[in-house]
Amino acid sequence: MISRSLARALLASVALLTASVLLTGCDTDQVSLATNAKANQPVPPKLLAAMVEKNMDLQSPILVRLFKQEAELEVWKQARNGQFALLKTYPICRWSGDLGPKVREGDRQAPEGFYSINPGQMNPQSAYYLSFNTGYPNAFDKALGRTGSQLMVHGDCSSRGCYAMTDEQIAEIYSLGRESFFGGQKAFQLQAYPFKMTPVNMAKHRNNPNMPFWKMIKEGYDHFEVTRQEPKVDFCEKKYVFDAAKTPDAKRDPVFDASAKCPAYVIPEEIASAVRDKDARDQAEYNKLVAKGTPMARMNTGIDGGMNKIFASKIPEGSTGLSENAEGSTLEMLAMAKAPGTIPGHVNPPKPNLDAVAAAPANQEPVVAVSAPAATTRVAAAAPAEKSGGFFSNLGRKMGLGTADTTATTPPPQATASVAPVAAPATPPTATSRLKAAVTRFVPGRDTTKDAPKPAVAAKPAEPVKPDTRLAATRPALKPSVSDGASEATQIMGAAPVVSSNSFDSRFGAVK
């Protein structure tokens, strides 16, 4: 008897072949997407081995979680017991903006909230190697009048409102999403958070004006934590609702409208009770931390986004920005570790807003956020809607999954000049010396031993700056996987064989 996963693979193969035949008569460029080499890189052997160890099928559903403060992207995958388990955590190379949701076009904010990614949002022809559209704005965002478009998770390690990975990382993540679609998943959920929603982090940020929004999305975080199931997401009265079900006396499921009054609904008691218990434990721990005087996090001083510590350690004068360093590790220690992918030479690490830093007294508790200036964006041009959208998009329309604009919009970052240290006079302290001390406080990993006054020496002619040969100047067309595995792929139960060909339909050649 044919297994369910194989049956789904057969259906996907038929759909792909049908789509190719239909497209041949109207747009031969679209047919080439079926053999897009970047989009068809196989899942690395090391990840396949991890799936075997965790009792997962290659084509089982996935779920993605993003954390700004930790600068991490998690890929969860459904195991054969029906629950999701963590497959792999990827350090985020660059994200932009502040902690908090995206509000308007051009604010440089990476979105926060719950989004759904269908095949039409996968972009194999991204200007930034590979990408997928987060789906911002969702119904909740629209109900609040929030604006913005083309917010992506993509490669190239540069961001103007997106979550940027290395090319090797996005190739892996893209392949996992592709396989889940082949397995029958119509859309995978993306959960984007400011930080891991722990009592410690909630206590640190208790003064942040975004806290009501964060408490609301924490409910969805808790639903996933206690069930290890993808929470069902609805919207009403301009708020999120998780795992809503019809009331016992109702004959049909409730109908939700993000801007309208909430319909009658219930949350299954086994979920509701588990969430209440977790929330009670979290609140008790939160109260203890506040009573102990846990320091509140200083709000954005003008630093634009963050970068995972592993990447910051590889860049001259690199900084994690709004992302936190690992406990017990420094950028110098991490510099010895291997970077998870190619760091392009144009990478632009987070920089402090020096005006805001200088104006902030050392003992001031929160500092009002300073919005970064909007940058001119470059759009990766795509063909008109009736002729483009990518192969996945056309497939999504033919399978009734809807479409989305899949054009990556992240522009190439511009070089940011580093700030030269200014020698501080002995006495009295000046505005310049206070600025220098403030910068030292806000730039992680800064070597303060270099700040001591030095005796005057005769001026020397300026020497030409040598380029940093540690950074890659160019990127190859295809990137090797960041999972260094064995040369032979491990076959897992219910999975289609992994072949070296870069063709979608060749995966199913054995059953044609």
What residues act catalytically?
Answer: 154, 162
| Angstrom distance (rounded) from CA 165 to CA 75 | 13
Kind and range of the H or E run holding 462: none
Tokens of 98: 């502040």
CA 423 to chain centre: 40
Tokens of 318: 């690199």
| Secondary-structure percent of the chain, ordered helix, strand, coil, rounded to 5 | 30, 10, 60
Using DSSP's 3-state secondary structure scheme, residue 398 falls into: helix
Cα–Cα dist 35/27, whole Å: 15
Give residue for tokens 């031969």.
28
- CB contact at 8 A, 489 and 459: no
Element (H, E) at 258: none
- Sign of the alpha-carbon dihedral angle for 17, 21, 22, 23: positive
C-alpha 293: how far from chain center = 32
Determine the distance from the C-alpha atom of residue 321 to the mean position of all C-alpha atoms in its chain, rounded to a whole number.
16
Cα-Cα-Cα-Cα dihedral sign, residues 241, 245, 246, 248: negative
Q: How far apart are CA 34 and CA 390, in angstroms?
A: 9
CA distances from 321 to 22, 188, 317 (A): 49, 30, 11
Residue pair 164/158 in contact (Cβ under 8 Å)? The answer is: yes
Contact between 323 and 98 (Cβ < 8 Å):
no
C-alpha radius of gyration, the chain, whole number: 25
Q: Do residues 455 and 8 lie in contact, with contact meaning Cβ atoms separated by under 8 Å?
A: no
Residues 6+ apart with CB under 8 A from 28: none
Nearest by Cα to 98 from 306, 385, 325: 306
The rounded distance, in Å, linking the Cα atoms of 244 and 222 is: 15
Which distant-in-sequence residues (6+ apart) come within 8 Å of 183 by Cβ?
5, 8, 9, 57, 58, 59, 60, 61
Question: Which residue do the tokens 């192969």 mark?
Answer: 391
Instruction: Respond yes or no on whether the N-terminal peptide bond of residue 428 is cis (omega within 30° of 0).
Output: yes
- φ, ψ of residue 247 to 5 degrees: the values are -70, 160
